[in-house]
A and B are shown apart, each in its own frame.
Chain A
Amino acid sequence: MTESPAHRAGPDESADLLEVEGLTVTFPTTRGPVDVVRDNTFTLRNNETLGIVGESGSGKSMTALAVMGLLPRGARTSGSIRFRGTELLGRPDAELRRLRGNAMSMVFQDPLSSLNPYYTVGLQIAEVYRCHRGGSRRAARRMAIDALGRVGIPDPAERVDRYPHQFSGGQRQRIMIAMALICEPALLIADEPTTALDVTVQSQILELLAELKRQTGTGMLFITHDLAVIATIAQRVLVMRDGEQLEYADTERVFSAPRHPYTRMLLESIPRIDDELAAPGVVSPTARPARPTDPAPAQEEVR
C-alpha cells in the first residue's frame, strides 16, 4: 500500500484522490459500542477504480458512508479520511455538504427507493446542479436533459418531466448515475449499484459506469458483494469481513494468488464460464461475468 505524505489543508493536485487511514466506525448498541469498521486503510488514486468486496455487514457500505459523511446519527468515527489531501473527519457538516454531490457523489443500491416518488426525475437531477452551481431553473433543467441523454435515457427532453415510477429499474439507476455525475465529481462511490437489477441490466449499467469513467476521469469506489463484478471494473480490490480488512491488492494479484482463505472461498463461489482459460478457482480479471448479449438501452420498456 502506498504511504502518501500527510496534507494539512487545501486541495492538493499532487495528493491521491482519497486516502483512508485507520478508519474505525463505532455504533452504540444496547450491548455496548460495536465497531462496524475497524482500522481500515486504503488509497484511491486519481482515475482509478477500487473495488470493496464483502458480505452484508462486512462494513463496506459503512466505509463508503463514512467517506461521504452520511453515517447514521450516533455513529462515531476515528482515524483519517483525506480527500484530495484535505482531512474530512471532524469537519462541520456544512463544509462537507459543499463536497457531497459536487466533488464526490454516490449511487445507491435500490434506485426506486432512492428516488423521491413525489418529484420528477428532472427536478431531482436539476436540484443537485442548482444547489452547487446555482443558475436558473431553466439552465439546470437543460443540464438535467443533457445528463439523462448521456446516461442513455431515450427521448430525454420529454422524459425529464416523468416520475421515477414511470421508468424501468435499469433506467432508474441510470437516472441515479446522471444525478451523481451532473457536477462532474472527482470521486464517485457506487454502493452495490447493480445488485437490485436484472442480470442483463446489470451488465449494461456496469458498462455505462465504465464508459462514463473513461470519459470523465472520475475516481471510483465500487462496492459489491460480487467478486465477479469487480474483475470487470476495478484495478484494485479490498476484501472486508466483519469490519476488518482482509486483503488489499491489485485485482490481478487477488484473482491469481489470493492470500486470505476467505478471499479464496469467495473466488471459488464465482460461477466460472470458461474453465479452459482460467485455472481452477481463478477467474481472469479480463473475463467478463456471464451475460447474454446486451440489448440496447432504448429497448428497456417504459413502465
Chain B
Amino acid sequence: MLRYVAGRLSWVLVILLAVCVFTYVIFFQLSPDPAVMICGKTCTPERIDTIRTSLGLDRPFLQQLGDFLRGIVAGRDYGSGANLVHCPAPCLGYSFQSGQSVWEMVLERLPVSVTVAVGAAVLWLLGGVTIGLLSGVKEGTWWDRSTMALALGGSSIPPYVLALALQYLLVVKWQVLPFPAAIPFGDDPVAWFQSYLMPWIVLAIGYACLYARMTRANVIDTLAENFMRTARAKGLGPVLILRRHALRPALTPIVTIFGMDFAGLLGGALITETVFGLNGVGKMASDAIAKNDQPVIMAVTLLAAFFVVIGNVVVDLLYTALDPRVRTTAS
C-alpha cells in the first residue's frame, strides 16, 4: 500500500514537472518579450536591459527554467543590492501588470473559485444523481424518457448562453435576483447566497445532466447484474435490495468521475467566473490572458494541473476504499 501511494505521488511530481516545462517553454519562448511589456511605452534600451537582468531573462533558457522551479520549492531573489526583492516559497513570480506577488493573488482569489465549485458540485450531485437513480429504477417510464430528453438538452446548452439567458430573465426581466457579485459570506449571508446562486446553477446544469445520464446507465447495468437476481431469490425486500445491493455498485464509478470534475473546477471556472464577473482564479486567468501577464498565466495553468493530478490520486485512493476488488490488489 505504501509503495503504491509513493508510486502515485512520484507520478504526480512527474506530471507537474512536465506541465511546468511545457507551459514555460510555450509562454516564455513564443510570446512577446516580457521586459518590453513591463517597461511600457516610454522605454529606453537600457531600462529593458535592467529589467531583463533583474528578472533573469538574460540567462540561458534552462537556467531560467531551473530558477523558476527552484523558486516554487525554495523561494528566490530578484535583482541585487538595494533593489533586491526576496520572493518566499512558493514563489510564482510577480505580475507584470500589477507587480503583486502571483502566489498572493492566487490565495486571494481561490476562495471565490472554491465557493463556486463547492456550491455547484452540491447542486449537480443532488440533482443529477437523484434524477439518474429514479430514471434508472423506472427505466422506460414517461418519467425516465422525459428527464433523459431534458438531460440531453441541458448538457447541450453552452454555459455562457445559459448565463446570459438566466441573467436576462431573473435579474433584468423578473428582478428576483440581484446582479451577481462576490459578496463575502460574513457581510450578508443572504446576499452572498443570492449572488452565487446563478453561477452555481449555470455551472451545475451541464454536469447535472451528464451525471443524471451516467447514473441512470449505471443503475440499469447494475439492476441487470446476476447478484441482483440473487438478492431477490434471497427474499429481500425491494427497498433493501436497492439500498444495499444496487446503490453502491451503481454509485462507485460516479464518485471517481466526480472527483475528477470537481478537481478540474478548483482551478477556476473560467467562463462562468468571467461571465458573472466573479473575482476567482478563472477570472484572473482570463484577465491575465487578455493582458499577456505571463507569470499569472503560468501560475493558473500550474494550479489547475495541480488540482487535476491531485484529484486523480485522491480518486484512486478513494476507489480502493470503495471497491473491495481494487483494495486487495493494491495492498
Contact = CB atoms under 8 A, between A and B. Distances in A.
Contacts of B232: 70, 100
A128 B234 contact: yes
Nearest to B139: A73
Contacts of A83: none
Contacts of B226: 108, 110, 113-114
Contacts of B324: 117-118, 120, 163, 165
Interface string A152-184: 000000000001011000000000100100000
Nearest to A105: B233
A264 interface: no
Interface of A: 68, 70, 97-102, 105-106, 108, 110, 113-120, 127-128, 131-132, 163, 165-166, 176, 179
Nearest to B249: A118
B117 to A, nearest CB: 29
Contact of B234 (A118, A120, A127, A163): A127
Contact of A118 (B236, B240, B323): B323
B255 to A, nearest CB: 13
25 contacts: A70-B229, A97-B236, A98-B235, A99-B235, A101-B236, A102-B235, A108-B229, A108-B230, A113-B226, A114-B230, A115-B230, A116-B227, A116-B231, A117-B227, A117-B249, A117-B323, A118-B323, A118-B324, A127-B234, A127-B236, A131-B235, A163-B324, A165-B324, A166-B328, A179-B230
Interface string B247-288: 011001000000000000000000000000000000000000
A68 B233 contact: yes
Contacts, number: 75
A112 B231 CA distance: 14
A120 B244 CA distance: 12
- 8 tightest CB-CB pairs across the interface, nearest first? A101-B235, A100-B235, A101-B234, A113-B226, A163-B324, A116-B227, A114-B226, A106-B233
Contacts of B248: 118
Interface string B1-29: 00000000000000000000000000000
Nearest to A165: B325
Interface residues of B, number: 22
Which of B229, B234, B249 has the largest number of chain A CB atoms within 10 A? B234
B225 interface: yes
Interface in B205-246: 225-227, 229-237, 240, 244-245
Contacts of A68: 233
B325 A117 contact: yes
A8 to B, nearest CB: 24
A97 B325 contact: no
Contacts of B229: 70, 108, 114
Contacts of B237: 97, 131
Contact of B225 (A105, A113, A127, A128): A113
Given A100-B235, A127-B236, A131-B235, A163 B328 contact: yes
Contacts of A163: 324-325, 328
